[in-house]
Amino acid sequence: MPIRRVTRWLAGLSVALAAFGVAGAAQAQDKKIKIGVIFDLTGPLAGGGSELQYTGVKIMLDHYAKTGVEGYKVEAVYADAQSKPDIAINEAVRLLEQEKVDMVMGFFSSAQCVPVAARVDQMKKFMWITTCISSGVFDGKNYKYVFRPQAAGNQYGMMTTDFIAQYSLSKFGKEPKDLRVAIIHEDGAYGVDVAKGNEAGAKKAGFNIVLKEGYSATAPDLSALVTKLKRAKPDVIFHTGYNPDITLLFRQAREQGLKFGAIVGHGAGYGVYEKLKEGLGADANYLFNTDPISIWLANQKTMDPKLPPVIKMVGEEFDKLKPGVPIRSAHVGIGAANAYVFLDDVLPRAIKKYGGVDPDALRKAALDTDIPEGGTMLGYGVKFYGEGEQYAGQNARSFPVVLQYIDDKSYVVWPKSQMQRETVLPLPAGTTYSYK
């Protein structure tokens, strides 16, 4: 072959190889998972815990945006549900159909994630719920593409009644059958679900249920409910609410002279101590909250050794965003921890074992998840109920704990396996609502 033709041939080959290299690089660059994230960034639910959950999820997604997962870029697209279920549904559909995200993640309010889960599964798209707790999301639905590592609402209600039952005699001086309890709750999916757990747990313990009533979280006046509570004279009030309804309840209780031995909250507004302190001042002392354990309180000695450095990173990033907060809210850790389970366990398996990030690959990878107790930052393990089971898609290994706020610190007081200090029951004499 003449030298000139060889030269031209080699030059052409070089161009072709260069073009192939560019195309290969572009193809590698295109390997990404696009995650739609939906929380309430405005409206009443934002300050009730949703913005903090968003912060925890965003910290984790920002971390993985830098590192990637198995050669895939992680890209997040955020949307504001505005504390409205219809907006949450519309935003989920918009992200999936217009933004072309591969999945949706987040969801603070049970009133939102119940209808959104139905819509997303109908669309055969993948949904990872970090936060909302209603058992109604999964109960009898047999969804294929919706998963939640978070503890369920009926677990919250049963946990707190068991806690009070154990201390009925030693702290209140009454047998459980003589203990007067009231169950009050916001009337959305979240409150109704937890209240069902409270009622079932109260009946199991043999408590005397003197009042059970729901109310709208947006009600401008709760004085009628406070009047009923005064007449009922409960030793313990089990309350499921957001904020500002919690603040309104306590303010009107103070005005009307309501007295009780303890009030036990269940996540949401009770999980945001700075809001409780802002609205109630010193009366936030001795309140209880039920939630998955704060990642900053979990026992790191029994935890997978790879997790403490991740907890440290989340705390440092949160402190940069919100310096001076007296108690790092459990909400931040819940968001971060449950997002981490997806990014560290489910996503790598979907890519390596099932070939990518389509809904079926993500679904199969989630069903393979088998994390033992101590394998998450929240202390519990992860194993999802499978297709055909009553709670298909729910984590069978999750559990909440009962915390108490004492002198601007939070302590795990139940169950005993996680206990950090003895609980203070009933409210000490001289405090605003004490019936002593």
User: Peptide bond preceding 323: is omega within 30 degrees of 0, i.e. cis?
Assistant: no
Average pLDDT over residues 192-216: 96
Residue 117's nearest CA partner among 393, 396, 398, 400 is: 393
| pLDDT higher than threshold 50 for residue 13 | no
User: How open is the CA angle 62-63-68, to the nearest 5 degrees?
Assistant: 100
Please tell me the least confidently modeled range out of 6-15, 32-41, 186-195, 416-425. Answer: 6-15
pTM above 0.85, yes or no: no
Q: Which amino acid is at 385?
A: Y
Domain boundaries 154-291+400-418, corresponding CATH code:
3.40.50.2300
> CB-hemisphere CA count at 13 Å for 197?
29
The torsion of the CA quartet 112, 148, 126, 392, rounded to 10 degrees, works out to: -100
pLDDT of residue 189: 84
pLDDT single digits (tens) 213-226: 999 999 999 999 99
| pLDDT higher than threshold 80 for residue 372 | yes
* % of the chain surpassing 90 pLDDT: 80
Helix (H) / strand (E) containing 272: none
Kind of pairing between the strands at 208-215 and 180-186? parallel
pLDDT band at 190 (very low <50, low <70, confident <90, very high): confident
| pLDDT higher than threshold 60 for residue 347 | yes
pLDDT single digits (tens) 23-58: 443 344 579 999 999 999 999 899 888 999 999 999
Residue 57's nearest CA partner among 134, 117, 148, 131 is: 131
- Residue 218 and residue 244 in contact, taking contact as beta carbons nearer than 8 Å: no
- 255 phi/psi in degrees, rounded to 5: -65, -35
Conformational region of residue 47, where left means phi above 0, alpha means psi within -120 to 50, and beta covers everything else: alpha
Domain boundaries 32-151+301-368, corresponding CATH code:
3.40.50.2300
In the block, residue with structure tokens 């918009």: 94
Residues with Cβ < 8 Å from 79, sequence gap 6 or more?
Answer: 36, 37, 38, 91, 92, 94, 95
pLDDT band at 243 (very low <50, low <70, confident <90, very high): confident
The first and second tokens of residue 180, run together, are 């007067």
Compute the Cα dihedral for 351, 356, 358, 361 and give only its sign.
negative
Please tell me the least confidently modeled range out of 20-34, 61-75, 204-218. Answer: 20-34
pLDDT of residue 154: 85
pLDDT band at 313 (very low <50, low <70, confident <90, very high): very high
Q: How far apart are CA 403 and CA 7, in angstroms?
A: 77
Neighbours of 276 (CB within 10 A): 24
Q: Which amino acid is at 422?
A: E
Which part of the chain is CATH 3.40.50.2300? 32-151+301-368, 154-291+400-418
The first and second tokens of residue 156, run together, are 């919250």
In the block, residue with structure tokens 């309104």: 248
The first and second tokens of residue 120, run together, are 């997303």
Neighbours of 4 (CB within 10 A): 8
Conformational region of residue 248, where left means phi above 0, alpha means psi within -120 to 50, and beta covers everything else: alpha
pLDDT band at 301 (very low <50, low <70, confident <90, very high): confident
The first and second tokens of residue 384, run together, are 């999802």
Average pLDDT over residues 242-267: 95
Q: What share of the chain is helix, strand, coil (3-state, %, to 5)?
A: 50, 15, 35
- Residue 151 and residue 292 in contact, taking contact as beta carbons nearer than 8 Å: yes
Q: How far apart are CA 324 and CA 301, in angstroms?
A: 27
Q: What's the chain's average pLDDT?
A: 92
pLDDT of residue 16: 41
